[in-house]
Every structure is written in structure tokens, then in C-alpha cells.
């Protein structure tokens, strides 16, 4: 079996391309980090990939609103190929800044397959400040990306992750079952006694999909939870396991998402 090919977009301040690429590689894909300008130059190469990832970062320094400037660049130079890609049986993920980019583009929620109209926003965190911590998530809908996962904990790191949609859109998101992830109070919030919603997101929404479930946008970072030793509570878990004579697991919770993408193509 040939390995699924993953294209990891980078450039202009995207900064999570290496860990995202590693996540896919470790899960069994072949990753290639491609600068957006190289993709614009040879936009035909997109068709050689099964997975497209918009990683986290600070494209254009979040100036004029996170993801906006990068989305403009994609829209003006790559939109046609992008639409070809999402309309095929392929997978797209936008993580953090990537989620901001794909929601600006309209790749999510893309009601009635309109992949080019912006319906939701990720605005400034409610306390106006960047936040780096872990959150707990509950899976809400069906998407290949989250298959078999009921809940998981991942880190976030963003200044503009406050999900917003107007009441009409919100209702539609619910009706069409496009809300993929919600912030909940789970094991990490319990562990460090933190509120479940880190940024003021409406209805605790942390991630959404398109109607096919192939395109997932989420604020939390599976790429920052590749190893068990990245969990905030791993030193405690280690002591507990050691005293039971058990070994420390290797993988972090984020790996499940990368593995799901590979499973989808096998």
C-alpha cells in the first residue's frame, strides 16, 4: 500500500508545520512541507496529495485579524485548485491559525458546498490576551478525523480563538450537525482546576467541519500532543503507573487524530 501523501502548508509566519508534518509521518503518511509561494508557482501539485493541512502559526502576525491576510493570499492565487481538492474524497485540516484561515476562506462550514463564503469567525479571546494551556474536548459529530474518539485533551495557544457565529448560522450548524468539538470540563480541567472554555467561544465550540466531515477546523493543537510526556499531568501519571508496575505510555492524545486520517485512506 502506498502511504497517503500529506501537504503541510507553510509561509508568512505559519510556525507549526514541522510538528504537524511529524504527526502525520508518525501516523503513517508521507508529509511534505510546502511554502505557499511554491504552491502558487506550481499549483498543479496539489492534486498529488490526499491530505492538506493548514498548521498553526501567526501568518502575517495576525494583523487585521488572524488568518485574514493568509486567506486573502490563498483566495487570490489558489482558490480554484483548493476547491477542486475539497470537492474530492480528500481530507483537509486547519489547526488554530489554520482554522482561522480556512474559516476565513469558507472551507468550513461551507453550507450546501459553498466553499468560498465566510460564515463563522474566530475573534479575540474574551480577556483580550493570548493563552497557552490545555483544554478538554468532547467530540460532537461524525468526521473521519475524529472517528472512534469520544473525548480528548489537547493544548491550545491562541489570542483569537473565540468562536462566533450569528444565531441563524449557529442554528444551521446544529441542524446540520457540523459542530465537531466542544470545550468541556474533563480530566485536565479537573487536574489543574481550570474553566472549560478558555476563550469565550459561543456554545463552547472548539471545532467545526464541513458537511462531508472531510474538512475539520479546530483551535486546539493535536500537533502539540504527540507524546504522553507532553500532558501537564504526566509526572503524576508516571508515579501512579510506576507504583502499579506499569510503563509510561508513549503516545499523546493528539496522535489519534493523525492516525484517523491515515486509517481513512487505508
CA distances from 260 to 127, 143, 146, 157, 215 (A): 34, 10, 7, 23, 13
Q: Which residue has the cell 444565531?
A: 167
Provide DSSP, 149-189.
-SEEEEEEEES--EEE--HHHHHHHHHTT-EEEEEE--HHH
Q: Are 231 and 255 in contact, with CB atoms under 8 Å apart?
A: no
Q: Strands 215-218, 91-95: parallel, antiparallel or unpaired by DSSP?
A: parallel
Stretch that binds other proteins, among 85-93, 141-149, 161-169, 207-215 (CB under 8 A): 161-169
Nearest-approach distance from CB 190 to other proteins, in angstroms: 9
Which residue in 3, 32, 68, 176 binds other proteins (CB under 8 A)? 68
Distance between CA 155 and CA 131 in Å, rounded?
10
Distance between CA 110 and CA 92 in Å, rounded?
13
221: contact with other proteins by CB under 8 A: yes
Which residue in 2, 80, 89, 128 binds other proteins (CB under 8 A)? 128
Nearer to other proteins, 15 or 45 (CB): 15
43: contact with other proteins by CB under 8 A: no
61: contact with other proteins by CB under 8 A: yes
Nearer to other proteins, 90 or 94 (CB): 94
Stretch that binds other proteins, among 46-54, 78-86, 239-247, 257-265 (CB under 8 A): 239-247
Distance between CA 130 and CA 12 in Å, rounded?
20
153: contact with other proteins by CB under 8 A: no
Which residue in 47, 64, 113, 114 binds other proteins (CB under 8 A)? 64
Which residue in 7, 85, 223, 260 binds other proteins (CB under 8 A)? 223
Which residue in 5, 43, 45, 72 binds other proteins (CB under 8 A)? 72
Q: Are 155 and 183 in contact, with CB atoms under 8 Å apart?
A: no
Binding-residue total with other proteins (CB under 8 A): 74
Where in 80-109 is the site for other proteins (CB under 8 A)?
A: 104
Which residue in 101, 120, 173, 261 binds other proteins (CB under 8 A)? 120
- Selection from 84, 93, 202, 204 nearest residue 143 by Cα: 93
Amino acid at each position: 500500500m502506498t502511504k497517503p501523501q500529506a501537504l503541510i502548508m507553510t509561509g508568512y509566519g505559519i510556525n507549526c508545520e514541522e510538528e504537524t508534518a511529524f504527526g502525520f509521518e508518525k501516523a503513517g503518511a508521507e508529509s511534505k512541507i510546502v511554502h505557499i509561494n511554491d504552491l502558487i508557482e506550481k499549483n498543479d501539485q496539489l492534486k498529488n496529495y490526499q491530505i492538506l493541512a493548514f498548521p498553526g502559526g501567526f501568518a502575517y502576525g495576525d494583523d487585521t485579524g488572524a488568518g485574514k491576510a493568509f486567506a486573502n493570499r490563498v483566495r487570490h492565487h489558489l482558490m480554484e485548485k483548493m476547491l477542486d481538492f475539497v470537492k474530492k474524497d480528500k481530507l483537509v485540516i486547519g489547526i488554530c491559525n489554520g482554522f482561522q484561515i480556512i474559516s476565513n476562506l469558507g472551507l468550513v462550514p461551507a453550507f450546501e458546498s459553498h466553499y468560498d463564503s465566510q460564515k463563522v469567525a474566530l475573534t479575540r479571546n474574551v480577556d483580550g490576551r493570548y493563552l497557552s494551556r490545555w483544554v478538554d474536548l468532547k467530540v460532537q459529530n461524525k468526521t473521519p478525523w475524529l472517528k472512534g474518539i469520544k473525548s480528548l485533551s489537547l493544548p491550545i495557544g491562541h489570542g483569537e480563538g473565540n468562536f462566533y457565529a450569528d444565531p441563524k448560522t449557529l442554528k444551521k450548524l446544529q441542524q446540520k450537525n457540523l459542530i465537531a468539538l466542544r470545550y468541556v470540563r474533563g480530566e485536565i480541567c479537573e487536574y489543574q482546576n481550570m474553566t472549560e472554555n478558555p476563550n469565550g467561544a459561543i456554545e463552547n465550540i472548539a471545532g467545526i467541519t464541513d458537511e462531508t466531515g472531510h474538512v475539520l477546523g479546530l483551535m486546539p493543537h493535536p500537533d502539540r500532543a504527540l507524546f504522553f510526556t507532553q500532558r501537564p499531568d504526566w509526572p503524576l501519571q508516571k508515579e501512579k503507573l510506576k507504583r502499579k508496575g506499569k510503563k509510561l505510555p508513549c503516545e499523546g492524545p493528539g496522535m489519534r487524530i493523525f492516525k484517523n486520517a491515515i486509517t481513512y485512506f487505508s
